[in-house]
């Protein structure tokens, strides 16, 4: 287990495009429709195992607005998370089921999911990281006080402003995060 110097650290991870493959249509990413189409991205299991072994709490923070829109059932999202939890060392799943119009505090780019998970588990946000593949993830991480890692899949959409680092995979993200912990 890594040295934490009294601070509990976490890596907050977006789900789609960070842990599992997205469905890309028109240059934009969408979640897989069901468990049967869920596929981990290459290197994810190894990267998450390394982060977990280093003492990081691994928290998936995911916007799932299709639930609010009525195009996805919460039971399907829960089944996907059960499948991911069986394959990976995830400590917690935080899900925002709202759409932008709901004006909730949990939908990224707002930091509500990260702050809530940090508060309940005693996590030091300044010692933690947010890893995401969209601008909303990076803004949520920054607003929560985390360092941010952008996985660039070159989507045809708004890019994040000034992430701490840009990488191509969770494996590269884990390498960078673990390098930051050197004292």
Residues taking part in catalysis: 14, 16
How far is CA 115 from each of CA 13, 92, 107, 109, rounded to the nearest angstrom?
14, 13, 12, 12
- DSSP-derived letter for residue 131 is E
Q: What sign does the CA torsion over 98, 66, 90, 86 have?
A: positive
Helix residue spans in 3-153 (DSSP H): 44-53, 66-69, 74-87, 112-121, 135-144
Q: Containing H/E element for 170?
A: helix 170-180
CA–CA separation, 161 and 13 (whole Å)? 18
Residues 6+ apart with CB under 8 A from 75: none
């Amino acid at each position: 287990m890594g040295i934490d110097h009294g601070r509990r650290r976490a890596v907050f991870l977006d789900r789609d495009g960070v842990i599992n493959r997205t469905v890309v249509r028109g240059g934009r990413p969408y979640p897989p429709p069901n468990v049967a189409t869920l596929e981990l991205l290459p290197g994810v299991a190894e990267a998450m195992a390394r982060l977990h072994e280093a003492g990081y709490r691994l928290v998936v923070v995911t916007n799932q607005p299709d639930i609010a829109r009525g195009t996805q059932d919460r039971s399907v999202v829960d089944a996907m998370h059960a499948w991911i939890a069986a394959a990976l060392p995830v400590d917690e799943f935080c899900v925002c089921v709202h759409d932008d119009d709901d004006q909730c505090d949990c939908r990224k780019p707002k930091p509500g999911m990260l702050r809530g998970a940090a508060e309940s588990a005693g996590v030091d946000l300044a010692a933690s990281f947010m890893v995401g593949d969209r601008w909303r993830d990076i803004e949520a991480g920054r607003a929560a006080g985390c360092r941010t890692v952008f996985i660039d899949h070159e989507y045809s959409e708004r890019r994040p402003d000034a992430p701490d680092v840009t990488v191509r995979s969770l494996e590269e993200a884990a390498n960078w995060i673990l390098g930051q912990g050197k004292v």
